[in-house]
Structure 1
Amino acid sequence: MGWTTKQLSLALMMVVTGSINTLSTKWADRTLSKGIDGTVRHFNHPFLQAVGMFLGEMSCLAVFYIIFFWKRHKGEEFDVGPQTYNPLIFLPAAICDMTGTSIMYLGLNLTFASSFQMLRGAVMIFTALLSVAFLGRVIKRFMWFGMMVVLVGLVLVGLSDTLFGGENKNDINGIISGDLLIVMAQIIAATQMVYEEKFINKHNVPALQAVGFEGLFGFLVLGTLLVPMYFIRVGHGKFSGDPEGRLENSLDAFVQLSNSWQIALATFGNIVSIAFFNFAGISITKEISATTRMVLDSCRTLVIWMFALAVGWQAFIPLAFGIQAIGFVFLIIGMCIYNNIIIVPLINKCRGITPEEKEPLLSGDDTGIQEESSNKPMYQTAQNA
């Protein structure tokens, strides 16, 4: 059965807006603008950019209530669940999202947009391990194999950055630091996902509302923290481009925004794209499947990679390109194996094994991490941003 026009539109929206989200952030990072001290420099304000992302997520809450009141006004049924939970249950998830996103934006400022997107695949490994520790899950053997394949892919992506930095050959330490920050941030993203599954899923919260609440708390907390960040001095280095060495100089950021329409447009694109991306992702999960959402997210990575090469954000070095391409293929294959997509079913089919039969060599135990279902969280924001 083919896809409907609505499903195709949602898929296109997810790939396009997801790509814009990463590319607009990197565009702002690469753009020069006059700052508060009168000097022209790159826009290095990851924490303010993270606040913008939360503003986009928070808009999902407004959309949810607009739909809710519109449906009620028309007398139509709109299932919002029991609504008996305390909204503060979203605060820990928002703090994880805030911390992980801020660290990832720090890393994005130091490395390539394509590597940023690919290295985020590490979240699958950390989520699986934390699920074993805190959710009592048992990982099947083919899932372990998938994780190992993903790990190989991550190593190859990091290797291509380290050995062949293109125009950043003289800044290898910065590239390595950026890659490591992105991978470290996935531990926090995985913590968020496990927390959501353990404490939030049982309340059957509508996805748009959940994304909106996390965006609201993230916006309030990180927006408030911008004040003390202004007074924290970290010196001049890779993590602060501020002329006075402040951790985050929001005043300087707004001056640079006012002096560059490119940065203003990129920031606006970041805010708007994350809102539409979350909406499209949630709708894809509901209309088709979470597996389809994962495949489309891989397409987003490919779009970002090709765009970065086309516009010269990442120099084309054949050997580096080849290593990164192989790493990308390993990432896709590993995710397919882990999620029991295509590869394992194909092996079972070739061996004459039906889905109802048990396969000890592939599954290990009869229990394992659950496959995608309506019970799994459809609103993971840290991984999708």
Structure 2
Amino acid sequence: MAFTAYQTFLAVVMVVTGSLNTLATKWADRSHSPGRDGVDREFNHPYVQALGMFLGELSCLLGFKILYVYYTRKDYTEDQLPPSISGNRNFRRSVFALPALCDLLATSTMYVGLNLTYASSFQMLRGSLIIFTAIMSVVFLKRKLKPYEYLGIAFVISGLTIVGVSDMLSSGTSTKNTDHIIIGDVLIILAQIVTAAQMVLEEKFVNSQRVSPLQVVGWEGFFGFTTMAVLLVPMYFIKVGNGVFNNPEGQIEDAIDAWYQIKNNWQVACGFSGTIISIAFFNFAGVSVTKQISATTRTVLDSIRTIVIKIAGVALGWEKVDGIQLGGFALLLIGMFLYNDVLIRPAYLKLRGQRNRTNYEESDKNNEENREYTEPIMQ
């Protein structure tokens, strides 16, 4: 079935803004700027970046309110409201709190990992989400996996292994520390466990509420933003050294230093702003694609986003073309498509059906010819 103009728009927005989000975050990470102590260093503030991400999500609530007021003043009925704001408005806001906390933990952990590894690896390793989502779906939602889903998981595991090996091998030819790359990759994979928990929670408690996409993103942003804003205070006083983080006094996070770096370098400011703006549109588009088209379409679009990020990383000189990594990505892609029953299995079933139909027709034709040959001539 062909996409409508609105669905095509959502798909394009998801791919473009999703790619920009990762690239903008990595751009900020790679940029140098003087901090509050006057020392010029890379922008290494994953928790402030997570705060910015939640601010972007929170802005969706403002967008919802503006659109809702606009359409209701024009006397639109509930059925006439656009898909972005239509839906249940009498729901418990608290159901978004737990998924938002999972999102907070996963996102901040992934941003730490992104700071340590490559942008394309970051995106590819997020494919491990399939493994943990499957496990939690079986354990908590009592689902039974189909054989092709197990096969998909096997491909994903193989692909992840190859991508990880590729990162370790390529570390010898890059300026990145091998230990940091490994830590970054592991953190990204661990974050997917939390993201899988978030998805299970959303499926169990949130999806049944039938809330509009803008409100889903907005309320998760609200709970995530307020929680992270509070956590930044104790993080400023907890000192862990500069093994992974690079704050003036070795804190877990130094929001004041982050502000100075954003203020002192337009590249950091643009990268940070790009993260905030792009995440709002990306999450809205992602939720809308799932609601308007299907979750499998969202998987395909996410795969396209990974390709875009890899191409952009190479074009910008951040990464090099790596045949081993591309091989791992190919296995990841096959695994994701198999698990979500996209393209590969449907194409196989269609081809097999056509062959069976052809064989049946040929058999029918042969039987007919045999009947004509053996049928006695009536005198």
Q: TM-score, normalised by structure 1?
A: 0.87
Q: 1:170: how far off? A: 6.2
Shift of the 48–191 alpha-carbon distance from structure 1 to 2, 3 Å rule, reads same
Shift of the 170–54 alpha-carbon distance from structure 1 to 2, 3 Å rule, reads closer
Larger radius of gyration: 2
For 1:346, the equivalent position in structure 2 comes to 347
Superposition pairs for residues 215-364 of structure 1, below 5 Å?
215-238=221-244, 240-316=245-321, 321-352=322-353
Alpha-carbon separation, structure 2, partners of 1:82 and 1:16: 29
Secondary structure of residue in 2 paired with 1:258: helix
Alpha-carbon separation, structure 2, partners of 1:12 and 1:183: 27
Q: 1:349: how far off? A: 2.7
For 1:25, the equivalent position in structure 2 comes to 25
Superposition pairs for residues 195-210 of structure 1, below 5 Å?
195-210=201-216
Q: 1:82: how far off? A: 4.5
- More off after superposition, 282-291 vs 256-265: 282-291
Alpha-carbon separation, structure 2, partners of 1:183 and 1:286: 27
Shift of the 130–44 alpha-carbon distance from structure 1 to 2, 3 Å rule, reads same
Secondary structure of residue in 2 paired with 1:234: coil
Shift of the 262–249 alpha-carbon distance from structure 1 to 2, 3 Å rule, reads same
- Contact between 2:132 and 2:193, CA under 8 Å: does it hold in 1? yes
Secondary structure of residue in 2 paired with 1:98: helix
- Contact between 2:217 and 2:284, CA under 8 Å: does it hold in 1? no
Q: Give, as a single letter, the amino acid of the residue that structure 1 aligns with 2:316.
A: V
Q: 1:290: how far off? A: 2.6
Matched, 1:174 2:175: no
Shift of the 255–170 alpha-carbon distance from structure 1 to 2, 3 Å rule, reads closer
For 1:377, the equivalent position in structure 2 comes to none
Unmatched tracts of structure 1, length 5 or more = 355-385
RMSD of Structure 2 on Structure 1 (CA): 1.8
- Contact between 1:167 and 1:314, CA under 8 Å: does it hold in 2? no
- More off after superposition, 246-255 vs 339-348: 339-348
Q: Give, as a single letter, the amino acid of the residue that structure 2 aligns with 1:22.
A: T
Secondary structure of residue in 2 paired with 1:314: coil
Matched, 1:138 2:144: yes
Secondary structure of residue in 1 paired with 2:61: helix
Percentage identity across paired residues of the two chains: 53
Alpha-carbon separation, structure 2, partners of 1:46 and 1:82: 34
Q: Give, as a single letter, the amino acid of the residue that structure 2 aligns with 1:138.
A: K
Alpha-carbon separation, structure 2, partners of 1:340 and 1:118: 19
Alignment deviations for residues 230-269 of structure 1 (CA, whole Å, 9 cap, x no partner)? 001011212x101200110001000111110110011111
For 1:8, the equivalent position in structure 2 comes to 8
Among 118, 122, 137, the alignment partner of 1:116 is 122
For 2:47, the equivalent position in structure 1 comes to 47
Alpha-carbon separation, structure 2, partners of 1:143 and 1:283: 25
Secondary structure of residue in 1 paired with 2:116: coil
Secondary structure of residue in 1 paired with 2:78: coil
Alignment deviations for residues 64-100 of structure 1 (CA, whole Å, 9 cap, x no partner)? 2222222221111236544443211111111000000
Unmatched tracts of structure 2, length 5 or more = 80-85, 356-379
Alpha-carbon separation, structure 2, partners of 1:290 and 1:266: 29
Q: 1:169: how far off? A: 6.0
Alpha-carbon separation, structure 2, partners of 1:279 and 1:96: 18
For 1:194, the equivalent position in structure 2 comes to 200
Alpha-carbon separation, structure 2, partners of 1:254 and 1:184: 29
Matched, 1:96 2:102: yes
Alpha-carbon separation, structure 1, partners of 2:11 and 2:339: 22
Alpha-carbon separation, structure 2, partners of 1:312 and 1:167: 14
Q: TM-score, normalised by structure 2?
A: 0.88
- Contact between 1:166 and 1:314, CA under 8 Å: does it hold in 2? no
Shift of the 287–92 alpha-carbon distance from structure 1 to 2, 3 Å rule, reads closer
Which structure: greater helix fraction?
2
Q: 1:287: how far off? A: 3.8
Shift of the 81–300 alpha-carbon distance from structure 1 to 2, 3 Å rule, reads closer
Alpha-carbon separation, structure 1, partners of 2:354 and 2:60: 44
